[in-house]
């Protein structure tokens, strides 16, 4: 418990920064379709409903998904935010299969890149997602690695904005 309980109720001293506001690119409901990839070939189909929404205050985004990957149902929560001290984006990930982890996230124009260790049941995960110019679609390529150096394709998905 904090030493000064009133400190919990204090308002933030700074409003959300430009970096926080960049996360607006994700906000909304999305239909996701694609497939897993094994040995360079499409394997299991992926169908998902993804919702990204601001948490109160406008500093963090909650990403919830309800997916069908082949015969498996996969549900989860990711919280995305900007760490001002480290000057980087960070994510925290949890799913119904017991996987949890954290990733760093970078942005270059409309391209976002996640990279993390021990995320989604794989030793290393990275994803490159490009938002379309009109903001209504994202193409994402997920890769995995055992050592963080040698990467193999894992999933190819397209998200289409519902709203």
Domains recognised in the chain with CATH numbers? 14-161 (2.40.128.20)
List average pLDDT for each run of 10 residues in the chain, which is 163 residues long: 52 79 96 96 96 96 97 96 93 93 95 92 94 97 96 97 87
DSSP 3-state helix, strand, coil percentages of the chain (rounded to 5)?
10, 65, 30
Question: In Å, how far are 6, 44, 62, 108 from 115, measured between CA atoms?
Answer: 37, 23, 18, 14
Are 82 and 59 in contact, with CB atoms under 8 Å apart? yes
CB–CB of 161/30 below 8 Å? yes
Question: pTM to 2 decimals?
Answer: 0.88
Q: Which of 45, 51, 13 is nearest to 31 (CA)?
A: 51
The confidence score (pLDDT) of residue 15 equals 85
144 close to 152: Cβ distance less than 8 angstroms: yes
- Give the pLDDT score at 16: 87
């Amino acid at each position: 418990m904090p030493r000064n309980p009133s400190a919990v109720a204090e308002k933030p001293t700074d409003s959300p920064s430009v970096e926080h506001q960049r996360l607006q690119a994700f906000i909304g409901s999305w239909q996701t379709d694609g497939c897993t990839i094994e040995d360079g070939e499409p394997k299991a189909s992926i169908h998902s409903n993804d919702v990204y929404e601001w948490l109160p205050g406008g500093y963090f985004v909650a990403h919830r998904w309800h997916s069908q990957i082949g015969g498996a149902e996969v549900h989860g929560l990711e919280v995305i935010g900007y760490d001002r001290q480290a000057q980087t984006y960070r994510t925290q990930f949890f799913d119904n299969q017991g996987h949890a982890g954290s990733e760093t996230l970078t942005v270059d124009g409309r391209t976002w890149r996640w990279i993390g260790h021990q995320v989604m049941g794989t030793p290393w995960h990275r994803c490159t997602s490009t938002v379309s110019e009109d903001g209504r679609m994202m193409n994402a390529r997920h890769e995995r690695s055992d050592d963080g150096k040698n990467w193999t394709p894992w999933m190819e998905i397209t998200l289409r904005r519902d709203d």
